[in-house]
Amino acid sequence: MNSGAIHKEDKILIGDVRLEDIPQIIALDAEITKISKPELWYSYYAPAGRTQPRWFLAAHEGNRVVGYILGEVRAWEFGSPPCGWIFAIGVLPGSRIGGIGTRLLDAMIERFRPTGVKTIRTMLHIDEHVLMSFFRSRGMAAGPFVELEASIDL
């Protein structure tokens, strides 16, 4: 599917998110999730006092943001050795199935690799079929951790 989009992809550059990208990322995330979270996205851009390595990357077509990805190396969380977490990824609906999501994920993996992590990890809702297909297509599969949750009023 991606081979037909090579020409379009050539115009897309992946790099660090810039301050002026944040409003477009807020809008794109709000389009995907139906919730606008400006404080959250600005906090990802300026992570005050963070000790863990974090990357916030965007796919640019000119000045237009057509995708973003947020990732971080986290150590010994839930007893796990350091691993690269993908916290969020999104591609503009009109720009999907052209390889941008793949390029964003690959770019994040290249940021993780020098840290020495051997595993990448993410969490998604079981009903998120497109995200599930995307991550499965990149070789990701169910891991050894299981999420447990309950109402706080249990």
> Which position among 90, 111, 112, 117 is part of the footprint of ligand COA (CB under 6 A)?
90
Q: What does residue 55 show for φ and ψ, rounded to 5 degrees?
A: -130, 140
Provide CB contacts within 8 A for 104, sequence distance 6+: 14, 57, 59, 67, 68, 69, 89, 91
Query: Is residue 130 within the footprint of ligand COA (CB under 6 A)?
Result: yes
> Which position among 17, 91, 117, 120 is part of the footprint of ligand COA (CB under 6 A)?
91
Q: What part of residues 33-62 is at the interface with ligand COA (CB under 6 A)?
A: 33
Q: Nearest residue by C-beta to ligand COA?
A: 101
> Which position among 57, 100, 108, 120 is part of the footprint of ligand COA (CB under 6 A)?
100
Query: Is residue 96 within the footprint of ligand COA (CB under 6 A)?
Result: yes
Nearest CA-CA partner of 58 in 99, 8, 108: 108
Query: Is residue 131 within the footprint of ligand COA (CB under 6 A)?
Result: yes
Nearest CA-CA partner of 68 in 92, 90, 85: 90
Taking the least distance from each CB to ligand COA, the nearer of 59 and 83 is: 59
Query: Is residue 97 within the footprint of ligand COA (CB under 6 A)?
Result: yes
Q: Which stretch binds ligand COA (CB under 6 A): 11-19, 90-98, 107-115, 144-152?
A: 90-98
- The partner residues of 86 in beta bridges, in order of sequence, read 71, 122
Judge whether 8 and 91 are in contact, CB under 8 Å: no
Query: Is residue 101 within the footprint of ligand COA (CB under 6 A)?
Result: yes
Judge whether 102 and 2 are in contact, CB under 8 Å: yes
